[in-house]
Amino acid sequence: MPAALILIADGTEEMEFTITYDTLVRAGVSCTSAFVSDEKREGASAGYESNPPFAKGSRGIRILPDTYFSPHAATPDKYDLLVIPGGAKGAETISSNSSVQHLVREYLQAGKYVGMICAGSLVALTSGLSKQPVTSHPSVHDQLKDTFIYSEDPVVVSGKLVTSRGPGTTFPFALTLVELLCGKEKRAEVAGPMIFPPGTFA
């Protein structure tokens, strides 16, 4: 069974987190959510690796992560996919975390998938990834356009790096991850019962 680690922080965009998590679970992927602290929050100590607090999403919805983010527990030998959702404040916290930056490079070097959506694509920049096709939310376009080959496609696959644009592209983003991990037949199997309108991306 493939396994995915999905990061979350205060300010993470709720749809990008929950739709991706839910869609991967429907495909049989074992998912773990990990709370990345901005280190200013009370009780946010690097020594805590379980019982994290609620993450307060970008729209104020509280989500209880499975665990604290620990770089030692998040290595690519344990997971097949690392997912970084957006949301301005959450993306800022996650993209500025040096352990996350190192992990992104480690996953790609190990031939594992990394998914970034919305402002989460800033992690491609802060991690020092090579020039390649990416997309993101328009709000961070200017920060990425000179370093990468910028696209406005809903989902961009560049080797093992998968990027997407925002809440409205989360379903095609998540289904693309399902296809890459589990195959086209599984993507169709998962998308069917979701009942997308005819002619949409599924």
Task: Examine the residue annotation and report whether 141 is marked as an active-site residue of this protein.
Answer: no
pLDDT of 31 strictly over 50: yes
* 80 is a domain residue: yes
Kindly name the residue from 16, 31, 106, 179 that is annotated as catalytic.
Answer: 16
* Residue 60 DSSP one-character state: S
State both tokens at 181: 């991990």
At 41, is the pLDDT very low, low, confident or very high (cuts 50, 70, 90)?
A: low
* 199 is a domain residue: no
* 68 is a domain residue: yes
Kindly report the length of the chain. Answer: 202
Pairwise CA distance, residues 136 & 184, whole Å = 24
Tell me which residue range forms the domain holding 28.
Answer: 3-194
Pairwise CA distance, residues 111 & 60, whole Å = 35
**Which pLDDT score is estimated for 201?**
74
Pairwise CA distance, residues 71 & 75, whole Å = 7
**pLDDT tens-digit map of 70-100:** 999 999 999 999 999 999 999 999 999 999 9
How much is the pTM? 0.93
CATH at 147: 3.40.50.880
Task: Examine the residue annotation and report whether 137 is marked as an active-site residue of this protein.
Answer: yes
**pLDDT tens-digit map of 124-165:** 999 999 999 999 999 999 999 999 999 999 999 999 999 999
Task: Examine the residue annotation and report whether 72 is marked as an active-site residue of this protein.
Answer: no
pLDDT of 50 strictly over 80: no
Query: CB–CB of 71/37 below 8 Å?
Result: no
pLDDT of 47 strictly over 50: no
**How far, rounded to the nearest angstrom, does the alpha carbon of residue 63 sit from its chain's CA centroid?**
15
* 201 is a domain residue: no
Strand partners of residue 31: 4
* 35 is a domain residue: yes
At 199, is the pLDDT very low, low, confident or very high (cuts 50, 70, 90)?
A: confident
**Which pLDDT score is estimated for 103?**
98
* 12 is a domain residue: yes
In the predicted model, what is the mean pLDDT of residues 93-112? 98
Among candidate residues 113, 69, 111, 66, the one with its CA nearest the CA of residue 90: 69
* 60 is a domain residue: yes
Give the whole-number percent of the chain exceeding pLDDT 90: 90
* 200 is a domain residue: no
- Give the gyration radius of the chain's Cα atoms: 16
Kindly name the residue from 13, 14, 31, 118 that is annotated as catalytic.
Answer: 118
Kindly name the residue from 14, 31, 137, 182 that is annotated as catalytic.
Answer: 137
Count how many domains the chain has. Answer: 1
